Amino acid sequence: MAKETPTKNLSGFNIKPCYGPEDISQLDYRNDLGQPGKYPFTRGVHKTMYLGRPWTIRQLGSLDSPSTANERILQLIQMGATGVSICFDLPTIMGRDSDDPLARGEVGSCGGVAIDSLSDMRSLLKDIPLEEISINFVSNSQSSVILAMFAAVAQERGTPLQVLTGTMQNDILKEYQAQKSYYFPPRPSMRVSMDTVRFCTEHLPLFNPISISGYHIASAGATPVQELAFTLANGFTYVEEGVKAGLSVDNFAPRLSFFFKVNNDFFENIAKYRAARRIWARTLRHKYGAKDPRSWRFRVHTQTSGSSLTAQQPEKNIMRVTLQALSAVLAGTQSLHTNSFDEGISIPTPRSEKLALRTQQIIAHESGVINTIDPLAGSYYVEALTDRMEAECNRYFEEIEGLGGVIPAIETGFFQRAIADSAYRYQREIEEKKRIIVGLNEFVEEGNAPIDVRRPDPAFEEEKVASLVSLKRDRDQGLVKTCLNEITEVIKGPDNVMSALIKAVKAQITLGEIIGAMKEVFGEYREESIY
């Protein structure tokens, strides 16, 4: 029996049963598609794409203590990972030290590593060839301090900052929109983020100072088209702020990167990436006057959808992750993290982690999808969906501009309301079985086969707190006071704070102490009701 209502994708677009030439009659091949590696980059940011080299296989390497996380990172590299993402525990994310009373019970948990001091960063990066391995720090409000520690470790080793590769997530705007791990009001936070951009532009030319993140916006409940529009709007805001700070757009825009989520709608993901590349290229070239083609390239890291993984029948998540990863590859991602099948229940085990990595390697070496560049170009459905994505995205841009831009829209709750409303609609669709999730609301089974669960070391927190207390007691207290005073004085004025932060972390001043000093100047932000 034919469906009575049209099929809708996650963005709410009605999907036709069949697409044909009439659906792309307005498509201009040269201006809308072009060749891979050439403007407007719809077909990919590199001329040879995966024929030249495959995407970066980037898996997470963080848990418990810095030394335990280091062991995990080295194991991932040995298994074939070419890049590593490092997540932090909740106290580190919130800018608090492990001995903070509010950190109790959270140190080294939730799949993240506890980083308080430069000593921790040394342990975390021990024996990792920083000149060879791309490091992605999944840090946000605390990014300036983490970057200072990273730079200090490289300097101690004699590794030139100019050769360091990787990414600092450092996307403060999406914190107010979705993830909520902010400390300061939006404008002071933006100032600190732009200090890191300037520092990297001048000293770490191969390092991406901001990874503009749609992943967390999507995980909070945004639709794919909202993820696209809000993430690009944030990206344009960083460009504008960089120019206001006195930087030439072509000096820093080539090092801005993006972070997207792939959901279960296979073709919607692909259209999202194609539209993103085209919009970014056109806007950077025509609105912001970028002359360097590298500024026009939308470079993106992808993670499969952790929020789509179910605790029910968890082995089925292997198929979900595989389809999502294949979609990301066909979309033209530059690096990829595949979630482990047990993440609906716990942090990954060594077995599930290896399966996730092997999923990428099978796609790369056995599927054949990388043997030709952009194999889906010209598909009536894909191109029509890409055009629709772009048109809806532009509609959101107009709405945000009408509110005065991204920061005023944050302050009025626009993004927060839009995301919350979308999350509510999606949950209703699941509850009403308008959207089927296998094992959750259809094809349900009683009970699950037992699986291994990875747990943090229960003794670690006590040991970490004790070592931190010793570190704070034994360091040069006069130097600590001098460095903290210098930080507060610098952030009261226009100078870049990064040099003061590097000096501070070398004096074994902790992340929590530095963030505390900044709070004294900037204040703390509390979001008002969005309704």
- Taking residue 467's Cβ as centre, other Cβ atoms within 10 Å add up to 17
**How is residue 113 annotated by DSSP?**
B
| 3 pLDDT more than 70 | no
Residue 2: the pLDDT is: 47
State yes or no: pLDDT of 304 exceeds 50: yes
Predicted confidence band of residue 391 (pLDDT cuts 50, 70, 90): very high
- pTM given for the model: 0.94
Quick check: 1 pLDDT over 50?
A: no
pLDDT above 90: residue 255: yes
Asked if 276 and 232 touch (Cβ cutoff 8 Å), the reply is yes
pLDDT > 70: percent of the chain: 98
Is pLDDT of 530 > 90?
Answer: no
The residue-averaged pLDDT of 340-359 equals 89
Average confidence (pLDDT) over 199-213: 96
Query: Does residue 72 have a pLDDT over 90?
Result: no
- pLDDT for 279: 98
What pLDDT is attached to residue 353? 87
pLDDT at 248: 96
Give the list of residues 6+ apart from residue 76 with CB closer than 8 angstroms, or none.
Answer: 59, 61, 84, 353, 357
Q: How confident is the model at residue 61 (pLDDT cuts 50, 70, 90)?
A: low
Residue 405 has pLDDT above 50, yes or no: yes
Q: How many CB atoms within 10 Å of residue 433?
A: 10
Residue 241: pLDDT over 80: yes
pLDDT tens digits along 76-93:
888 888 778 899 999 999
Q: Is residue 57 within 8 Å of 336, Cβ to Cβ?
A: yes
Judge residue 282's burial from the number of C-beta atoms within 10 Å of its C-beta, 0-12 exposed, 13-18 middle, 19 or more buried. middle
Q: How high is the pLDDT of residue 59?
A: 73
Q: CATH assignment of 20-431?
A: 3.20.20.240
Give me the percent of the chain exceeding a pLDDT of 90.
85
CA atoms within 13 A on the CB side of 435: 15
CB count within 10 Å of CB 358 equals: 13
pLDDT at 33 over 60: yes
Least confident of 53-57, 95-99, 192-196, 498-502: 53-57
Tell whether the model's pLDDT for residue 204 goes beyond 60. Answer: yes
Give yes or no for residue 5 having a pLDDT over 70: no
Structure tokens at 297: 């390239």
Mean per-residue pLDDT, 434-447: 91
Tell me which residue has tokens 């890049």.
83
CB contact set of 245 (below 8 Å; sequence gap of 6+): 194, 197, 198
Domain parsing of the chain, residue ranges: 20-431, 472-522
Instruction: Round to whole Å and give the CA distance between 518 and 156.
Output: 26
